[in-house]
Amino acid sequence: MNKVNNTIKQRIFDGVVLSDKMEKTLVVRVDSMKFNSKYKKHYTSSRKYKVHDEKNKYKEGDKVQFTECRPYSKDKKWRAL
């Protein structure tokens, strides 16, 4: 019988910490480059994520890597690496 590998590939993002004012929570901005095909222009789009930081080791302005995980709250579904 063949074994089936049931691994889930988790997404990993790089971003910059915007806020560390909440306890064990970071607000992280992730920038991505997009292209408008009509006007032939590149532009930067950004999105904010709430990330769980168990040890409070990241401060505002730091670069951080984070991955998806189980939901910690309504908005917080990401964990800092």
Number of other residues whose CB lies within 10 A of the CB of residue 48: 13
Q: How far apart are CA 47 and CA 7, in angstroms?
A: 27
Please report whether residue 51 resides in a domain.
yes
pLDDT for the residue 7? 73
Please report whether residue 4 resides in a domain.
no
For residue 23, pLDDT over 70 is answered with yes
For residue 1, pLDDT over 70 is answered with no
Q: Provide the token pair at 72.
A: 């910690």
For residue 70, pLDDT over 70 is answered with yes
CA 26 distance to own-chain centroid: 10
Whether the model pTM is above 0.75: yes
**Residue 56 is part of which domain span?**
12-80
Please report whether residue 53 resides in a domain.
yes
- 28-69 residue pLDDT tens: 999 999 999 999 999 999 999 999 999 999 999 999 999 999
What band does 4 get if pLDDT is binned at 50, 70 and 90? Answer: low
Please report whether residue 5 resides in a domain.
no
